[in-house]
Amino acid sequence: MTARPYVLGDVTYKATKDARYDLAVLPWGATEAHNLHLPYATDTIETDRIAAESARIAWDQGARVLVLPTVPFGVQTGQLDVPFCINLNPSTQLQILRDVVDTLARQKLAKLVILNGHGGNDFRTMIRELLPIVPMFICNVNWYQVVDATSYFTDLGDHAGEMETSVTMHLAPDLVLPLSQAGPGKARAYRFQAFQEGWAWSPRRWTQVTKDTGVGDPALATAEKGRRYLEDVTRKIAAFLVELARADLNDLYR
Ligand SMILES: [Zn+2]
């Protein structure tokens, strides 16, 4: 494997010591059960690979972007009773993010994109708290919201369903068990209309919602669907990275 100049974990100090990077990408995943057929590292693998591919496209267009190592733990407070779903509380995440941001700010990095791959992670309040105290522009991108999934997939379940299974079949086929071994990903919804309509919210208690930890039926997943979806997701993220890399932080509004 040749070292990718846009991935920090691949390069040496020789590359970084005199370099100027426009922005860094911090991929943030999770370690959690994904139905019976996808690995615990699913979110981490997806996010790591999407970050690197988006950065590659942006780099080829002249943006000096650097992908930081992917954080493998996310918020799992609704899955504490599922073996090896490893929880970082949001307040712990904030501490980690604060330390990473503080370090990068001292080194004069001006822009940071958090690339999030796990629905339980919510960096928006953390960014609100950090922005007034660090001289850095920080934004969050949830890669699973970048394009409209309905154009690619039939079942829109949000955890280990058709989308994530297709994506993982494309990225790490050796780690996906045959779909015949997957559970149906049948999930129970809240009783309240307010929750269905989305204006009331509380995190789900996972083991009461689903028997196999999946939310969404993976039956129609294919690697080709995953490839097509990811191609569009990474192209769109890359275009944003290029735009942000070139942006004047004093002129962000039209
Ligand atoms: Zn996932």
Q: Is the pLDDT of residue 182 over 90?
A: yes
Spatial neighbors of 148 by CB under 8 A, at least 6 apart, are: none
Interatomic CA distance for residues 133 and 137, integer angstroms: 11
The pLDDT score that the predictor gives to residue 116 is 98
Q: What band does 216 get if pLDDT is binned at 50, 70 and 90?
A: very high
pLDDT per residue as tens digits for the range 154-176: 998 999 999 999 999 999 999 99
51 alpha carbon to ligand 1 midpoint, in Å? Answer: 15
CA 54, CA 239: separation in Å to the nearest integer? Answer: 8
Query: What are the φ/ψ torsions at residue 137 (nearest 5 degrees)?
Result: -90, 125
Centre of ligand 1 to C-alpha 143, Å, is: 11
Give residue for tokens 């330390």.
99
List alpha helices for 2-156, DSSP H: 13-16, 42-60, 90-106, 124-130
Instruction: Give pLDDT tens digits for 47-97.
Output: 999 999 999 999 999 999 999 999 999 999 999 999 999 999 999 999 999
CB distance 159 to 213 below 8 Å: yes
Angle at 35 between CA 230 and CA 146, to 5 degrees: 25
Instruction: Report yes or no on whether pTM surpasses 0.95.
Output: yes
Could you list which residues have their CB under 5 Å from ion ligand 1? 42-43
Ligand 1: centre distance to CA 33 (Å): 8
What is the rounded average pLDDT for all residues in the chain?
97
Instruction: Quote the ligand 1 centre to 169 CA distance (angstroms).
Output: 13
Q: If you measure from the C-alpha of residue 120 to the centroid of ligand 1, how many angstroms do you get, rounded to a whole number?
A: 10
pLDDT of residue 1: 81
Mean pLDDT, to the nearest integer, of 4-30? 97
